[in-house]
Amino acid sequence: MPPPTSTADPSTLSDLPLVASELDLLASLVPLAGAHIIEAGCGAAGLARALLKRFDDARIVGLEVDERQLAKNLTEPVPRLQFLHAGAQAIPFPDASFDGAMMLKSLHHVPRELMDPALAELARVVRPGGWLYVSEPVYAGELNDLIRLFNEEGEVRALAQQALDRALESGRWLPDTEHRFGMRRRFRDFAEFERTLMRPTFADHKIDDTLLARVRERYARHQTPEGANFVAPMRVRLLRRA
């Protein structure tokens, strides 16, 4: 698939191209066959698992600091996918060990004082000429407006982009391409929304009955017999190791 290249205002979602699979976008930008990849903040490693099904000679190391998610990952092993309890700021591999690195909606979850060390450490373990694919949600859209009722991320998402700017200024990374697009998010019902976004294993959003009712009421405006459908604006920045 040709990569989306829209530079439209991300708040105008109708102007954004839609991407059904972020793996398709990644595969259109970098070579994945035979690649050795590290993913920082891998979560459930959904894209990594799909990647390894499509490219049967690729290998991935997934780093995760959430011990509950890591334990779940270890109960669902996949050949050529290694999980480690580690943060991106301290990666237990030698220099130039990987062809590329991924951060999928995870950079803004890194503590602000560790964002710069994390990007420097990824530069250390990625070979010269290798790549860093950073996918981050844009602070715009109806889904974002709903999430911010219980999880305000405007500041940390901005800090993530500023950290990428500093990584480029450092000379460790070089700019390659940037892509803005929308991704469809569908929830069967409020229970799925609550479980997925309001009560993740890695965060406590301090949700009391009053807040829960407020979010439920706002969510109900989007519910249809087929579920609640949203378009989440995304921004991908692809960097190259100097």
Cα distances from 201 to residues 65, 70, 102, 111, in angstroms, run 11, 10, 21, 17
Residue 10 has pLDDT above 70, yes or no: no
Confidence of residue 7 (pLDDT cuts 50, 70, 90): very low
User: What is the total residue count of the chain?
Assistant: 242
| Confidence (pLDDT) at 11 | 45
Q: Is residue 88 within 8 Å of residue 103, measured between CB atoms?
A: yes
CATH number (domain holding residue 161): 3.40.50.150
Kindly state the average pLDDT of the residues 97-109: 98
pLDDT, tens only, 128-173: 999 999 999 999 999 999 999 999 999 999 999 999 999 999 999 9
Residue 14 has pLDDT above 90, yes or no: no
Which amino acid, 163? A
Judge whether 34 lies within some domain: yes
Judge whether 193 lies within some domain: no
Judge whether 57 lies within some domain: yes
Judge whether 74 lies within some domain: yes
Rounded to whole angstroms, how far apart are CA atoms 25 and 239? 15
Judge whether 46 lies within some domain: yes
Number of structural domains found in the chain: 1
Judge whether 218 lies within some domain: no
Q: Is 231 exposed, middle or buried (0-12, 13-18, 19+ CB in 10 A)?
A: middle
Residue 15 has pLDDT above 90, yes or no: no
Kindly state the average pLDDT of the residues 57-71: 96
CA atoms within 13 A on the CB side of 234: 27
Residue 100's domain comprises 13-138+152-185+235-241
Judge whether 204 lies within some domain: no
Rounded to whole angstroms, how far apart are CA atoms 173 and 125? 12
Assessment of whether the complete model's pTM goes beyond 0.85 = yes
Residue 9 has pLDDT above 50, yes or no: no
Judge whether 157 lies within some domain: yes
CA 4 to chain centre: 17
Confidence of residue 13 (pLDDT cuts 50, 70, 90): low
